Amino acid sequence: MKAVFVTGIHTDAGKTIASAILCQALQMDYWKPIQSGADEDSDTLTVKGLLGETSSVFHPEAYRLQAPLSPHAAANIDGVEIVLHKIKRPNSDRLLIEGAGGLLVPLNNKDVVADLIQADDKVVLVSRHYLGSINHTILSVAYLNQKGIVPGILFNGSENPATEKAIANFGESTILGRIDDAENVDADFVFLQSEKLKNELEKWLME
């Protein structure tokens, strides 16, 4: 099975919740290669908590940085340099990878998050509606298309048909569905969302 790389149109698009839902729906293992803000948060622990009892394997981060900043800035504070070739993928045939921030977030002076994506990965782009999200989503799709990647777009939040239609009209992408808004995001919510999206996700993954 191809690896799934989850990215977003900005930092708060909902990548971690989406990752938990995808892991549940597709029974995938989870890996966050680079974790910033480790003093305050851990996306690995968040996903683990949202999945509850699961057969998913949670792999340790390649870089665990303390400050809640862009990886290149957090690494500088910690006195380390993120080296791309030192980031080795875990041995898993059902691997979900969650990126840090958006596609062009710097890792160092020359590499960005998108450089972690391999040619045969399936890429999920999480898009959340706000003023400017159409531009951010279309730019992300255009960048991925230039790399020969047709992303699956997963909307997160309230439905906005006009915005979603506009996004679908530009560039090559597949609309995977929507994660509903919720005041309380817990294991039950993740399970229900995964059941709703499962068929479409499985079909897309096999394309």
- How far apart, in Å, are the Cα atoms of 78 and each of 37, 46, 114? 11, 23, 22
CA–CA separation, 150 and 143 (whole Å):
10
Q: In 3D, which of 2, 1, 7, 39 has the Cα closest to residue 152?
A: 7
In sequence order, which ranges of the chain are alpha helices (DSSP H)?
15-26, 43-51, 71-78, 133-146, 161-168, 187-206
CA–CA separation, 171 and 143 (whole Å):
10
- The answer to whether residue 86 is catalytic is no
CB–CB of 181/157 below 8 Å?
A: yes
CA–CA separation, 119 and 113 (whole Å):
14
CA–CA separation, 13 and 11 (whole Å):
6
- How far apart, in Å, are the Cα atoms of 122 and each of 4, 33, 160, 205? 5, 17, 25, 7
- How far apart, in Å, are the Cα atoms of 18 and each of 89, 161, 178? 20, 20, 10
Which one from 2, 15, 32, 196 is the annotated catalytic residue? 32
- Write out the catalytic residue numbers: 32
